[in-house]
Every structure is written in C-alpha cells, then in structure tokens.
Structure 1
Amino acid sequence: MSITCKKCGTGNPDDSAIICPHCGVVYAKAASAPQHARYPRDPQPDVADDQPKSRSFSVLNLGLIFIGAAVLAAGCFMPIVSIGVLKFSYYKNGHGDGLYVLILAGLILLGALGKSRPIAGFLGFICLGLISFDLYMATQKISEMQDKVAHDVQGNPFAGLALAVSNSVSLEWGWGVMYLGGILVLLGALLSNRMLKEQYAD
C-alpha cells in the first residue's frame, strides 16, 4: 500500500522512503502528529489590519475645509479698514493680498477634493500667516499715521478736522471672518476620527 504524507498529502513514490520528498517531513512523525498539527489552517488575515485604524479623510474633514475655504474667500471682500464712511476690503480690486488668499482658498479646495489633509493644512497655515502679517502692518500704519497727524497739525486752525479724520481710521470685522475661515481649514486638516473618539469617549 502506497504511503501518503499526512502533512502535505504527497504520495510516496517509494514505499520504503522514510522522508517525504516534497516537504521533508518524517512519515512516522507526520502519522503520529495530532490532526490539527498535520493540516494547519491557513492563517486568517487580521480584519483590523485590512481596515485603516482611522479614516484619514472623513466627511467632517471635508466639510470643515470646504466651509473654511469659502469663509476665507468671502472675507477677502469684506471691509478690513474704514476711514469714516469709506470702507476698504482685503481684495482691493485685485491689488491687495486678498488676491493671494483667494488663490490659496481655491488650492485648499483642490486639496480637500484630493483628500489631502497635509496640503489643506499647510495652505491654511500660510493664509493665517499672511493675514496676521497684514493685520500687524495695518495696525502699525494706522498708529503711525495718527501719531504723525497729531504732531503735524499742532497750531493748525484745521487741527480738529484733521484729527477727527485720522481718528476715524479703524480696523473692521473682515479680519475676524478671515481668521475664522483659516481656523476652520486647520481644524478640518488636523482633526481625525481617532482624536474625536478620544475627545468624546465616556
């Protein structure tokens, strides 16, 4: 009677052979081994390994980045500086840094569509940096202008009018809108499902 390897099932071409020519197991050991040892089950893939531990880009990420980019773009057309009843936007008819923020907002949207949180976050950070720099420069220029006017109009009969005009120069709420948009973009880029689960875990 032909001997068959109990491990791999290969037939023995020579009944007198001691070792299986296919897998090298000793026939006597294979015959005495427990059934589960003879035919080991194929390792089952770990389901958890096949699935990402946390989705890299969720609907929440997409929504926050989209809303943030839209708010950023809208803020470019809102007043950031006023002189009396005159108000000036960040866009300045295409001559202000608002144009760059608009372009960056469009690139942020493309990054969101490509489901790239790093790109959206990096561009959002650049937007906030540019806005912060311009806000600082606007604050400095307004302060310097008011100090200069106060110094130059001393003894001038129209000093009161000049001071009233200079003091009417102020920052407007458009800055806050753009900051809100930038923060939303960063939140959408940084938040992950894992962070949310840890935040709201019981």
Structure 2
Amino acid sequence: MDDNIICPLCGYQRKDQDNNPEWQCPGCLAAYNKAQYGLFSLPEKKIDEFSLPQDMSKAYLLTEDSLYIFNNNLQKKIKKIEISENNLQFIIAELGIDPIKDEEKMLFETLPYEKLNVIKKNLNSNTSTSHANNETTNSPPNIKAKEGVEEENSLIEKQDDDKKHVNSNSDLYFWVGFLGLILLLIGVFSPIVSAPMIGDLNLFRNGKGDGIFILFLSSFWLVTFMRAGRIGLTILSVLIGGLILYDLVFTYNLMQNIKSDLTNQLAGNPFAGIANTMIGSIEMKWGWVLLLLGASLMLLSGIVKDKDVPSIIEDHPQSNIFINFFNGIAIILFVLPLYFWIFGVVNNTSKTSPSQLQTKQQDRSKNQSEIVSQIKSVNLTVLSSNVEAFDHLASDCLINVKVYGKINSSCTKASSIEDKLLPQLKMLGQELKKMGKENKGISSDLEMKLNTIIRHFKSGQKDLMTANTILSR
C-alpha cells in the first residue's frame, strides 16, 4: 500500500498500519473520491462489494489482467472483464496513468463521464481501433496496444452484440411504456361521451368513475416499470386494458339502450323531430382512442421488457434522480384515488356529535335518494324538447293575437302542452328547492339545466297570459 496518499479533505497521510478500507481516510473517515464515477486500482484478492465506497453509483477497478465494473444499480454489482496486457497498456495510455506494479498502488482519479467511454469503446466496439491509430501516430509503444485491441475485438464482438440487444430492448420498453402511460393519464381526463343537457363526460368523473381505479393500478404499474421482470408489468397492463374495454362496451350498450328507449317514447309525438336531433347528438368522444392506445403501448412495453434497468437511466450520471422522479409520480397516482375515497367523504361531514351526524346523514341520504329517483324518472331529453316547443308556440300565439286580435292553432297546441308539462315542472321546482346547495344528489351542471327548462316554461306561460289579457279587453 502506498503511504503517500493524502486525504484532500483533512490532509491526513495514509500509513501502512492503518486498518481502514482502501477507499476510506483513517482521519476523517470520508471516501477519497466522492464522484459518481472513478477509476480504482486494488489487489484482485480484495475486490468485492465491501471494499468499495458505498456512496458511489459506479466505479471501475483495474488490475494486472482484469477490469472490474462496480454498479450499485445492478443485481450483480461486480462484473469482471478479462483483458490482455496490450489492451491494458492501451487503457493506461489513454487515461494517462502509470502502469500497475507489485501490490497495485492506490489510484483515486475523478474521471468525467465522457472519459470513461474510452474504456467502453475500447472493449466493446471497433471504434477504438481508429481512435488508437490517431493516438499512436507519435507514440510507438501504442502500436502494439492497437494490435492487441484488434485481436480482442473478435472475441468480444459476440458478447457485445448480446449486450446491445438487451440495451436496445431496454430502451424500447422504456420509451414505449412511458409514452403509453402519458396517453393513458391524458385519456382518463379526456371526454369519452357527449350528451345533451349533460355535456362531455370523462372516465374520472370527479373521482366517481372507473378512472380512479385506472390511476390506482397505474401507480403499481409505474413502480413495476422501473423494476426487474416483465410478468408483473404484463399482468397490470392486462388489468388496465381489460377495465378500459369493459367501460367501452358498457358505455356503448348504455347509449344504444337510451337511444332506443327515447325513440319508442317519442313515437307519435308531434315534436319528435326536435328530440331526435338531440338524441343524435349523443356520441362517443376521442378520449377512448387515447385510453386504448395508451393501454396497448403499456402492454407492449411489458412484452419487450428485459430484466435490467433501462440503459438510458442506468448509464446516466444522475440515475437516482430519474428513479426518484418516477417513484414520486407513482406516489401521486396512488394518493390521488385515496384522496377522493377518504377525504372526499370527510369534507362532506359536518362538525356535530357522532349520534347527531349519523341521524342527520341517514335522513339526508333517505331524502336525497327519493329526490334523485324522482328527478331521474323524468326524461330530460323529451321534457326539454316539449318545453322548447311550448315556448315557441306560446310566442307565436302572442304575436298572432297582437296582430290579428284572435287565437290560432298555435294557441290551442300551446295550451294542450302546458296542461301536460305543468305537473312535471311543478314537481321539479319543489324538489329543486328541497335539494339546496349542500345536496350532491345531482351535479351542479344538471341542476342548472333543470332551472333553464323551468325558466323557458315560465316564459311560455307569460306569453299565453299576455295573449289572454289582450283578448279579454
């Protein structure tokens, strides 16, 4: 052991009798090299994962006939590559270090990421041959090193091809899966159905739709995405895709049933044309395309996934930042459903005693259930078309009375429709008052639509009353 090593932090000079690991300063107990990448020279008999700085993500160790690669991100932390004397001399010449002698002097040298690629190119590709040519023009000793590299390239080529194939698959599964996840998350909040009186609906539905389950499964998918193995990733992808397909089939059948029921109810109705136009506007939206494409790409990523971390992350100097970033997204996708499941219920409860809260909640639930059932019993599509027709006929009746001083067919039809709509609209007005602002039985958007229907009806009533007043003079 060289006793001339001086710690750059505390200035302690290494002694032969010091028992600390080769990488650790006996004075301040810090690692001599804190960089993520470093080149070390150690006796081969001492090379193991415990003789390396634990805060390093990657290190290269050089001996007389071997190159060791230490990587904390891999399951097998130490990889040994046999190299010839000529190749070893070439690496030493490229890195500008002294040859290894006797007990291998301790060498702590911070090397940039680009500089370490020299070693990889020398061992794993033919590009090092041309690079050696340029370097050895004015350096005769490197000519033999170049010849040694050419001899070893044929032996390393097969292993290199296998490694490139693994890295290629690893990068492919990463980009395919990452793109699929982004499309899926966008699709959950994108419109999947458009209907009159309701507007666009998505799969999330403020935490009440199946989109909440997709987000929950996506959190586990993302954790598995950054781990070894493909079985778990494939199973989760199938579950997500199956849930999307179930919702797609269910939504399509529901739309067809609604259209069929409305068509039967409007048979013989003189204003069926208006309602049929509204029925025709019920359609599927582009959100399904994003959901299905995203799930398909996620499933494909599980099929092509290898057992290692993607090389794009593994070889990056700050790989831990990428991994922590994906783990953070997974936590958000896991917590978001819990927020709507747990805190959504808590926010709706009042600060009363447990017994009062339970009684109040039971009464509210019972009353809300009755109100909602009555509201839903009214066909909003048919009701809206009839109210619009009534308002139009009443306005035409008023104009005819003002101009000609007598009633026409519009007045008769408006009075007939008024008699049919009045009981339903009275019920709606009463129930809307009972619901109040705190009742969540129907959405605020639906409540606004119901109020609009009542407002149009009152406008028609006003026109009829004005017409009757004119005629009675």
User: TM range, normalised to the smaller chain?
Assistant: 0.5 to 0.7
User: Number of paired residues?
Assistant: 148
- The secondary structure found in structure 2 opposite 1:87 is strand
Structure 1 alignment gaps of length 5 or more = 1-43, 194-202
In the other structure, the counterpart of 1:105 is: 218
Deviation of 1:86 (Å): 1.5
Tell whether 2:278 aligns with 1:137.
no
Residues 115-166 of structure 1 deviation map (CA, whole Å, 9 limit, x = unaligned) = 3322121111111111111111111111111111110111223322222222
In the other structure, the counterpart of 2:194 is: 82
* Alignment root-mean-square deviation, CA: 2.6
Deviation of 1:105 (Å): 1.6
- TM value normalised by structure 1: 0.65
What amino acid is aligned across from residue 70 of structure 1 in structure 2? I
Deviation of 1:192 (Å): 5.3
In the other structure, the counterpart of 1:173 is: 286
Deviation of 1:97 (Å): 0.5
Structure 2 alignment gaps of length 5 or more = 1-81, 83-155, 307-473
What amino acid is aligned across from residue 286 of structure 2 in structure 1? W
- TM value normalised by structure 2: 0.29
In the other structure, the counterpart of 2:166 is: 55
Of the candidates 176, 183, 204, which is equivalent to residue 64 of structure 1?
Answer: 176
Q: 2:191·2:200 contact (CA, 8 Å) conserved in 1?
A: yes
In the other structure, the counterpart of 2:228 is: 115
| Aligned counterparts of 1:70 and 1:110: Cα–Cα separation in 2 | 15
What amino acid is aligned across from residue 133 of structure 1 in structure 2? Y
| Aligned counterparts of 1:82 and 1:75: Cα–Cα separation in 2 | 15
Q: 1:80·1:175 contact (CA, 8 Å) conserved in 2?
A: yes
| Aligned counterparts of 1:116 and 1:192: Cα–Cα separation in 2 | 7
Percent of aligned pairs sharing the same letter: 29
The higher-RCO structure (CA 8 Å, 6+ apart) is: 1
| Aligned counterparts of 1:91 and 1:99: Cα–Cα separation in 2 | 6
What amino acid is aligned across from residue 162 of structure 1 in structure 2? A
Higher helix proportion: 2
Residues 40-90 of structure 1 deviation map (CA, whole Å, 9 limit, x = unaligned) = xxxx9xx989xx886397122122212212211110000000014821111
Q: 1:72·1:102 contact (CA, 8 Å) conserved in 2?
A: no
Q: 1:65·1:109 contact (CA, 8 Å) conserved in 2?
A: no
Q: 2:191·2:202 contact (CA, 8 Å) conserved in 1?
A: yes
| Aligned counterparts of 2:187 and 2:219: Cα–Cα separation in 1 | 14
| Aligned counterparts of 1:182 and 1:115: Cα–Cα separation in 2 | 20
Whose radius of gyration is greater, 1 or 2? 2
| Aligned counterparts of 1:114 and 1:63: Cα–Cα separation in 2 | 15
Q: 1:124·1:186 contact (CA, 8 Å) conserved in 2?
A: yes
